[in-house]
Amino acid sequence: MSNEARPASNFIRNIISEDLKNGKHKTTITRFPPEPNGYLHIGHAKSICLNHGISLDNPGAKFHLRFDDTNPEKEEVEYIDSIKEDVAWLGADWGDDLYHSSDYFDFIYDCAIHLIKDGKAFVCDLNAEETREYRGTLKAPGKDSPYRNRSVEDNIDLFEKMKNGEFKEGEKCLRAKIDMSSSNINMRDPVIYRIRFSSHPRIGEKWCIYPIYDFTHPLSDALEHITHSICTLEFEDHRPLYNWFIENCPVPSTPRQIEFARLNIDYTILSKRKLLQLVTENHVEGWDDPRMPTISGVRRRGYTPKSIRTFMERIGVTKKDTCIDMSNLESCVRDDLNEISLRSMAVLKPIKVIIENMEAEETIDLDCPIHPQKPELGRRSIVFSKTIYIDSDDFMLNPEPGFHRLGPGREVRLRYGFVIQCKNVVTDDNGNIIELHCHYLSETRGGKRPEDGRKVKGIIHWVSEDDKASAEIRIYDRLFKIENPNSDNFLEHINKDSLEIIETAFVHKDILGAKAFDHFQFERIGFFSVDPILSSDGAPVFNRTVTLRDAWTKSKK
Ligand code: ATP
Ligand code: MG
């Protein structure tokens, strides 16, 4: 991340600067604490960039990656692996600081015992439904559990038996003894341990009781000496509970929790649960489907880590919930791809063009820059020959006003080549275009005007018969049809036309050797990247990463 602009300050960085100035901490330890119950999405990237970015600010600062793996039923090794890959890809280096809450289960268990001995936790026999009834509502206080006043000895004994597997799931749980009349429902004697006879992906069957996330998370932070526990706003109401656990358990440090607004982006959803549903119900091709807002999806589509980091810097960190336009993210992607993508020409929906005033075997050598700002990369040879292909979008049988490209009797310039004139359109019985018969103007090479000096407005891309190679190109659109699909019926808003597969587009044969994730700009069309899964040696499949311009926002207006 070294050659990027220094991150702008934000309210969290200001708090941290104060804490360092006041000598509260010598340096910082921040962390990214995912639950391994799905793949990461762009929202998580905000948290990763923020927490890792802070660790770059101060000498001696550290960044931890910690899996908050307290829920054995929803967690899988596949998710753990994908999360590591995604965090590393974003450039957030955790060094040796990779942790798992499940490694702390002994410590967390000791904390529970500590609470019991202090009379601050009890084993409760209420079932789920009764617990809900006793909890009260936002308007009404809760009621004490009838088991709340068990003796310390009974609680120790029962908790031990829970641990030893002597009770069934749901038969008993351990609850903190806080305040059933608190206006904050999180403080109403929350459950901290429950019985689960499930195998944990990392530690197997060692435990049949599992600490609840709300208990595990603050204790894990404290055990790791996290100085600033940065989380999203929905945890604001949990802060008093987390502080209560920290104050009442034998922890080695006191993290400071700071909340910020989560990232929302229009036309997509950033919720693991909903993304999981898209995958399991086959609405997309997988977690890494290039239409998905997952890190693996956007990576496969051709987004770069730098573009995501730039985006996070641009949108900043605040306490106010907002929804960001997808076009902001795309603009960052475009900026980076413009720098790094090699140029080439490709024709998505070819129309054959016969250059009538050329001999069958005649060819003319031309070339184009591989990158306009990087002359050191040299030039790509292109061959002009009697048969070439142009995109069907660049031809109209009955051109509308304002259309400056090819039509019957019209002329247009071929990029890096000649001006051609359309003399004749060959159609089949149904009026479908079979081929165009054109003449080229030999004096117009190198951008020169025709002999009489007239201006030719349109410039189009093309590929010649000699250069062409077929390749599959995939065009993606927004995954949802509406701006805010974040409702329970989000499936109804899926854009069924979000994937267009063009099986035989024509690309320049030079780029058939492209490797997975290589970036190209197909001139006038967009930025494309080689799909890592669908491609094979010598047969790349290209994903359209992003269009050249923000046509979307324009058409919306
Ligand atoms: P989801 O809501 O998608 O299920 P989560 O919050 O349950 O996500 P976690 O694995 O618990 O997922 O998240 C790890 C970290 O990422 C947490 O600190 C969480 O606050 C943060 N995070 C999750 N979603 C966003 C988001 N949209 N914007 C910013 N940070 C996020
Ligand atoms: Mg969460």
Predicted pLDDT of residue 358: 97
Q: Give the up-direction half-sphere exposure of residue 101: CA atoms within 13 A in the CB hemisphere.
A: 29
Per-domain boundaries in the chain: 11-260, 272-343+473-556, 346-460
**346-460, CATH topology level:** Ribosomal Protein L25; Chain P (2.40.240)
Its pTM stands at: 0.94
Q: Can you state the angle between helices 239-248 and 213-223, rounded to 10 degrees?
A: 60
Residue nearest to atom 23 of ligand 1 (CA): 44
Determine what percent of the chain is predicted with pLDDT higher than 70. 98
pLDDT band, very low/low/confident/very high, at 464 (cuts 50, 70, 90): very high
Predicted pLDDT of residue 3: 53
User: Is the beta carbon of 231 within 6 A of some atom in ligand 1?
Assistant: yes
Do the domains at 11-260 and 272-343+473-556 have one common CATH topology?
no
Q: Which long-range contacts (CB under 8 A, 24 or more apart) does 514-520 make?
A: 514/540, 517/299, 517/302, 518/342, 519/302, 519/304, 519/337, 519/340, 519/341, 519/342, 519/545, 520/341, 520/342, 520/343, 520/344
Q: Residue 496: exposed, middle, or buried by beta-carbon count in 10 A (0-12, 13-18, 19+)? A: exposed
Residue nearest to atom 9 of ligand 1 (CA): 34
Nearest residue to 325 via CA among 259, 266, 260: 266
User: Is the beta carbon of 226 within 6 A of some atom in ligand 1?
Assistant: no
pLDDT band, very low/low/confident/very high, at 2 (cuts 50, 70, 90): very low
Q: Which of 31, 62, 272, 405 is labelled catalytic?
A: 272
pLDDT above 70 for 551: no
Instruction: Kindly report, residue by residue over 487-538, the tens digit of the pLDDT.
Output: 989 999 999 999 999 999 999 999 999 999 999 999 999 999 999 999 999 9
The reply to whether CATH 3.10.620.30 applies to domain 11-260 is: no
Q: Which of 202, 262, 352, 445 is labelled catalytic?
A: 262
Tell me, yes or no, if 262 is annotated catalytic: yes
Structural domain 272-343+473-556, CATH architecture:
Beta Barrel (2.40)
Whole-angstrom Cα distance, residue 335 to residue 281?
Answer: 35
Determine what percent of the chain is predicted with pLDDT higher than 90. 95
Instruction: Kindly report, residue by residue over 158-193, the tens digit of the pLDDT.
Output: 999 999 999 999 999 999 999 999 999 999 999 999
pLDDT band, very low/low/confident/very high, at 6 (cuts 50, 70, 90): low
Say if residues 407 and 396 touch (Cβ distance below 8 Å).
yes
